[in-house]
Amino acid sequence: MRAVDPDVIEIEGPPPLEHAPDVVIEALSAVVTPQRLQRIEEVVANRTDHLAIVLDRIADPHNSSAVLRSADAFGVQAVHVIVGDHGFRASRGVSKGTHRWLDVTRYEHADACARRLKRDGFAIYVAAMGAKTTPDDLRDVPRVAVVFGNEHRGVSPQMRELADGAFSIPMRGFVESLNVSVAAAITMQALARDGRPRLDARRREELRARFLMNSVKNPGAVIERFLGNDSSG
């Protein structure tokens, strides 16, 4: 039986909004500071849904957490996770709660993840040693999902078969590979540095509402009071 690590949390992704985004925004904007509102606006304005990260059976919670932090830092909203034997876990100390600001979607199998991505118009490229395509070559792909595999086994054969292509980060030294979280950060920086299409108005409003929910203690109670449904008094 695996020992329980208090620093490790299971990542499920964000809960759905229980009220319309405009209601949430109006109710919660009054109880956060102007500085927080400004920060939320800045983050939302720089989010993209034209770049997605896929983690294929990542085992180490520290690696998972570092990828989540990088996704948030580079404005990547969507992280898709194919869970392995260990589920999808993150280190509290490394993630710093960044999973709360992202869309983390979990799948049991690679084919379900690939179907979702292709339905949403993404081309899928897997990280693979020796591939001739580089992250810079992918910058002209309108919507691209980049896949990073298990630390020891790499991307699964099933996902490689479902992908549209493969890429690798050029290496100039004696080492042949990078830690998965480092590789993901380098790839995100390359693909996001010139900016990608931002979210449409509907998605921006949804994110504003979700980010406000994450910024307020007991947001449900605040919203109920705003709607006049508070029965505590």
Count of positions (residues) in the chain: 233
pLDDT bin (cut points 50, 70, 90) of residue 93 is: low
Spatial CB neighbours of 61, under 8 Å, sequence gap ≥ 6:
5, 7, 8, 89, 90, 91, 94
Quick one: 110 exposed, middle or buried, by C-beta within 10 A (0-12, 13-18, 19+)? buried
Tokens for 186?
């380098």
Q: Is residue 231 a part of any domain in this protein?
A: no
CATH number of the domain enclosing 43: 3.40.1280.10
pLDDT at 232: 53
- Please give the tally of structural domains in the chain: 1
- The strand pair at 103-107 and 8-10 is best described as unpaired
**To 10 degrees, what angle do helices 201-215 and 34-45 make?**
140
pLDDT at 88: 75
Q: Is residue 232 a part of any domain in this protein?
A: no
Q: Within a 13 Å sphere around the CA of 163, how many CA atoms are in the beta-carbon half?
A: 22
User: Per DSSP, which regions of the chain are E strands?
Assistant: 8-10, 48-56, 76-82, 89-91, 103-107, 123-127, 144-149, 165-167
Per-residue pLDDT of 136-166, as tens digits, reads: 999 999 999 999 999 889 999 999 999 999 9
Per-residue pLDDT of 6-60, as tens digits, reads: 544 455 555 678 999 999 999 999 999 999 999 999 999 999 999 999 999 998 8
pLDDT at 195: 76
CB atoms within 10 A of CB 97: 13
Map residue 173 onto helix, strand or coil.
coil
Q: Is residue 2 a part of any domain in this protein?
A: no
In the chain, the percentage of residues whose pLDDT exceeds 70 is 87
Supply the range of the domain harboring residue 181.
Answer: 8-226
Closest residue by Cα to residue 187 from 52, 27, 2, 39: 52
Q: Is residue 217 a part of any domain in this protein?
A: yes
pLDDT bin (cut points 50, 70, 90) of residue 100 is: confident
Q: Is residue 1 a part of any domain in this protein?
A: no
Given a cut of 60, whether residue 1 has pLDDT beyond it is no
Closest residue by Cα to residue 86 from 177, 182, 4: 4
Given a cut of 90, whether residue 176 has pLDDT beyond it is no
Q: Is residue 3 a part of any domain in this protein?
A: no
Report the amino acid identity of residue 8.
V
